[in-house]
Amino acid sequence: MTHNAINAAIENVSRRHFLVKSAAATGALSIGFQLPGIAGAAPAADSAPEITHWVVIEPDDTVVIRIARSELGQGSFTGLAQLVAEELQCDWGKVRPEYADVNMHIRRNRIFQSMSTGGSRSIRDSNEYIRKAGAAARQMLVSAAASQWGVPASECRVQDSVISHPSGKSTTYGKVAGLAATMDIPTDVALKSPAQWKIAGTSPARFDVPAKTNGSQIYASDVRLPGMLYASIVRSPVFGSTLKSYDESRVLGMRGVKQVVADEDWVAVVADNWWRANKALLALPVEWDESENDNVSSDSIMQFLRTGIDATDVPVARKDGDVDSAFANAAKVVEAEYHSGFLNHATMEPQNAVALYTDDRLEVWCGTQNGEATIASASETSGIPLENIIVHKMHAGGGFGRRGGHQDYTKQAVKIAMAMPGTPVRLQWSREEDMRQGRYRPVSLVKLRGALDKDGNWTAWQVRQADQSIIITVRPNMIENGVDPINTRSFADNPYKVPNFVNEYAMRNPHVPPGFCRAVAHTNNPFYRECFIDELAHAAGKDPYEFRRPFLEGTKDLPLLDAVARQIGWDKPAPKGVHRGIAVVDSYGSYTAAAVELSVENGTVIDVQRVVVAIDSGHVVHPDSVKGQMEGGVIWGLSFIMHEEITIDNGRVVQGNFTDYPVLKLAQTPKIEPIIMPSGGFWGGVGEPPIGAVIPAIGNALFAATGKRIRSMPLKNHGFSYKT
């Protein structure tokens, strides 16, 4: 394809975006994409001046703010832009966020720093350097105006992209951007204190919302390129098994089918319409090699975890005081075992990616939580150098950790595209493939013991965890002395000031691939911890809220616990038939608590009426997005505890769709009462923290209502359901 043909060719991907990519190309490359000139600092917005690599200002005063993280619906496009705009003191109405180009990032020595969008880190990790970029750009623009006017920069004032001088002179950012771009970027810039914020800390309308209300938002699964074909894929259902055989002759004659592409452990059918590709895939005879994992089941995994609980000597994550003598002197000892199974992200948009391979170049369109991981995966898979790969980041139809480092779908799409040079192919996983090829929230089994003295004071506790490590599969050097620092969270870093405590950790890794799933260990450990503390409180004959308080004295957790107790009305009796539960959890740098009210009909039908959830994330950039994450987090918590479980039989995932992996629906949504109470002075995450406390608060309220202590999720396995 020629350069011009390509311009005409992009059917529905932003034409401007494509032109940007090709603007700086020199000479006619005979392929489906053009690289910006390797040598030059090709700005993202045509030839408009790049003030810093984060800020480009167009002559009409449009401020393009580059966003290195991904928009998954959590509001990063808006929140990150607010932080830059705050320091830049530009007109918010002229701001347009754009994805920082992944290829430019690579060519300019990873200039955008981390592109990873996970761990609720987008704002807390990057706020300082992007605010500094905004402040630096403002200084450069002011210096440019001052030098044009021959006045000291310190005499100039800035408001909403307008620079003025007491003499009456005035100009705009767009007019001086060209000159500003030639200046050195100051490194020593002062930042405003959050008390001075005008844009950050408010809730302007999110940039990504309008296109999401009329079908015009193009996700990777909506990308259409001329001549594009569609692929559906099946990977070995027993994780780790390999492809033995398949009989393509049975499907090649089916209407629309173009090719069958196979790899070591998958096979894909490519056709001119996805439904045809998938229909042929379902008709394709496929055999997989046998493996030792063929007999693994959820029960056998549970037995495997039990070996960790029963082991005599396991690594210790944390030890305080003298646990043994505290237990020896206890008036009462409480013991309990908790567990939960695998969970799937089940992003609304099943995994997918578009790839176009020609000669020694590659172009990929995908929803990703990490553009850098995408380009690296594409390069590794294809052997094509990073410089020759273009990644088009598309807004993702949900991420929750599934679209992070693994990039399995990108690798597959690249392989398929390489089997069909010159033809763009969109690999679209079926929902069934998405359910069965997850990177699952791991299984865990935890034994807890607690000691109470004769006055019912909590004197010691012991936590023995047996679970599957995620981090060992991606960053094994983080494992120290056999302890997984992520899976032990909310135990090893718990805030309770109990003098005697030990957290033992036994790693047990089954063959099911684990992954980071929104809130990660805080989807289960808080359930274990906070329900067990509730057990201790009841054993001590104390109120569960009052029982916790003295052990949290002086922590940042306590005000959250108090806030939800106040809001739910803990000091007053609940309405007749209504029962309450409470829990407190800190995670991802933020502090949260939840209190709920529910009633139970016929002993099994749970009617959750109110969920109060509070967060202290230190600073808040976009309160309405924080509220949105809290609302969504409550839904996740309610969904996990009642419905969600991936089970394993014959080495493979049993569930295949929302029919057997149900998730919470609107009719089961309670009244949600979010409390945002930033105390300042730190930057905490927001995407994940709201989930953790909701789950145990439900478990504790359920105990209050029924006298049944449920120690494993999901509740449906115990005969419970939600009222609809």
Partner 1 sequence: MTSLNVNGKQIEVDVEDDMPLLWVLRDELGLTGTKYGCGVAACGACTVHVDGQPMRSCVMPASALAGRKITTIEALSADGKSHPVQKAWVQLQVPQCGFCQSGMIMAATALLERNSNPSDADIDAAMTNICRCGTYARVREAIHLAARSV
Q: Which residues contact partner 1 (rule: CB under 8 A)?
A: 11-12, 72-74, 205-206, 208-219, 221-222, 224, 230, 255, 272-276, 346-350, 395-400, 428, 430-431, 624, 628, 631-636, 639, 657-659, 663-667, 669, 672, 724
Smallest distance from partner 1 to CB 256, Å: 9
Smallest distance from ligand FES to CB 692, Å: 21
Q: From 515, 696, 512, select the one nearest 592 (Cα to Cα).
A: 696
Instruction: Give the residue with the Cβ less far from ligand FES, 433 or 597.
Output: 433
Instruction: Give the residue with the Cβ less far from ligand FES, 209 or 677.
Output: 209
Q: How many residues sit in the footprint of ligand FES (CB under 6 A)? A: 3
Instruction: Give the residue with the Cβ less far from ligand FES, 102 or 635.
Output: 635
Is the previous residue joined to 226 through a cis bond, with omega within 30 degrees of 0?
Answer: no
222 binds, among ligand FES, partner 1, none (CB under 5 to 8 A by kind): partner 1
Smallest distance from partner 1 to CB 214, Å: 4
Instruction: Give the residue with the Cβ less far from ligand FES, 137 or 281.
Output: 281
Q: For 656-670, what is the HEC assignment?
A: CCCCCCCCCCHHHCC
695 binds, among ligand FES, partner 1, none (CB under 5 to 8 A by kind): none
Which of 178, 398, 485, 559 forms a contact with ligand FES (CB under 6 A)? 398
Query: Which position has the token pair 């502090």?
Result: 591
Smallest distance from ligand FES to CB 397, Å: 6
Instruction: Give the residue with the Cβ less far from partner 1, 429 or 458.
Output: 429
Cα 275 to Cα 272: distance, rounded to the nearest angstrom: 9
Q: From 320, 643, 657, select the one nearest 460 (Cα to Cα).
A: 320
547 binds, among partner 1, ligand FES, none (CB under 5 to 8 A by kind): none
316 binds, among partner 1, ligand FES, none (CB under 5 to 8 A by kind): none
Calculate Rg over the CA atoms of the chain.
28
Smallest distance from partner 1 to CB 278, Å: 8
Instruction: Give the residue with the Cβ less far from partner 1, 276 or 619.
Output: 276
Instruction: Give the residue with the Cβ less far from ligand FES, 398 or 623.
Output: 398
482 binds, among ligand FES, partner 1, none (CB under 5 to 8 A by kind): none
Instruction: Give the residue with the Cβ less far from ligand FES, 397 or 692.
Output: 397
657 binds, among ligand FES, partner 1, none (CB under 5 to 8 A by kind): partner 1
Residues 6+ apart with CB under 8 A from 447: 309, 335, 336, 337, 463, 464
Exposed (0-12), middle (13-18) or buried (19+): which is 190, by Cβ within 10 Å?
exposed
Kindly identify the residues of this chain, within the stretch 7-46, that bind ligand FES according to CB under 6 A: none
Smallest distance from ligand FES to CB 210, Å: 14
Q: Which residue is nearest to ligand FES (CB)?
A: 348
Q: How many helices (H) and strands (E) does the chain have?
A: 18, 29
Instruction: Give the residue with the Cβ less far from ligand FES, 663 or 676.
Output: 663
Smallest distance from ligand FES to CB 348, Å: 4
Give the tokens for residue 669: 């949504």
Bridge-based pairing state of the strands 652-653 and 648-649: antiparallel
- Which stretches does DSSP call E strand in 141-212? 157-159, 162-164, 170-172
Bridge-based pairing state of the strands 500-507 and 458-467: parallel
62 binds, among partner 1, ligand FES, none (CB under 5 to 8 A by kind): none
Instruction: Give the residue with the Cβ less far from partner 1, 74 or 381.
Output: 74
Question: Contact letters (x/-) for ligand FES, 218-257, by CB under 6 A?
Answer: ----------------------------------------
633 binds, among partner 1, ligand FES, none (CB under 5 to 8 A by kind): partner 1
Smallest distance from partner 1 to CB 251, Å: 14
Q: Is 348 in the site for ligand FES (CB under 6 A)?
A: yes
Cβ-based neighbour number of residue 577 at 10 Å: 11
Q: From 112, 104, 110, select the one nearest 38 (Cα to Cα).
A: 104
Residues 6+ apart with CB under 8 A from 74: 122, 625, 628, 629, 686, 687
628 binds, among ligand FES, partner 1, none (CB under 5 to 8 A by kind): partner 1
Cα 462 to Cα 492: distance, rounded to the nearest angstrom: 11
Q: State whether residue 152 is helix, strand or coil.
A: coil
Smallest distance from partner 1 to CB 467, Å: 25
Instruction: Give the residue with the Cβ less far from ligand FES, 8 or 348.
Output: 348
Residues 6+ apart with CB under 8 A from 125: 114
Instruction: Give the residue with the Cβ less far from ligand FES, 328 or 348.
Output: 348
Bridge-based pairing state of the strands 257-263 and 425-428: unpaired
Q: Burial code of 248-281, b = ≥16 C-beta within 10 A, e = fewer? A: beebeeeebbbbbbbbebbbbbbbeebebbbbbb
Cα 517 to Cα 523: distance, rounded to the nearest angstrom: 8
Bridge-based pairing state of the strands 579-587 and 286-288: unpaired
Instruction: Give the residue with the Cβ less far from ligand FES, 362 or 664.
Output: 664
Smallest distance from partner 1 to CB 225, Å: 11
CB 518 within 8 A of CB 687: yes
Q: Is 209 in the site for ligand FES (CB under 6 A)?
A: no
Smallest distance from ligand FES to CB 553, Å: 40
Smallest distance from partner 1 to CB 213, Å: 5
Give the tokens for residue 628: 């949105």
Kindly identify the residues of this chain, within the stretch 63-92, that bind ligand FES according to CB under 6 A: 73
| Max Cα distance, the chain (Å) | 85
644 binds, among ligand FES, partner 1, none (CB under 5 to 8 A by kind): none
CB 338 within 8 A of CB 539: no
Q: From 531, 510, 493, select the one nearest 444 (Cα to Cα).
A: 510
Instruction: Give the residue with the Cβ less far from partner 1, 129 or 275.
Output: 275
Give the tokens for residue 717: 């396995």
Smallest distance from ligand FES to CB 354, Å: 20
Smallest distance from partner 1 to CB 670, Å: 9
365 binds, among partner 1, ligand FES, none (CB under 5 to 8 A by kind): none
Cα angle value 305/307/308 (rounded, 5°): 70
Residues 6+ apart with CB under 8 A from 650: 238, 294, 295, 296, 297
Instruction: Give the residue with the Cβ less far from partner 1, 581 or 628.
Output: 628
Instruction: Give the residue with the Cβ less far from partner 1, 89 or 428.
Output: 428
Cα 79 to Cα 664: distance, rounded to the nearest angstrom: 28
Smallest distance from ligand FES to CB 232, Å: 15
Q: What's the CA dihedral at 680, 681, 685, 689 to 10 degrees?
A: -60
82 binds, among partner 1, ligand FES, none (CB under 5 to 8 A by kind): none
Ordered DSSP codes for 23-66: HT--S--SSS--PPPSSS---SSTT--EEETTEEE-TT--EEEE
Smallest distance from partner 1 to CB 212, Å: 3
485 binds, among partner 1, ligand FES, none (CB under 5 to 8 A by kind): none
Cα angle value 401/406/410 (rounded, 5°): 110
Residues 6+ apart with CB under 8 A from 624: 203
CB 504 within 8 A of CB 464: yes
209 binds, among partner 1, ligand FES, none (CB under 5 to 8 A by kind): partner 1
Q: Provide the binding-site residues for ligand FES, judged by CB under 6 A.
A: 73, 348, 398
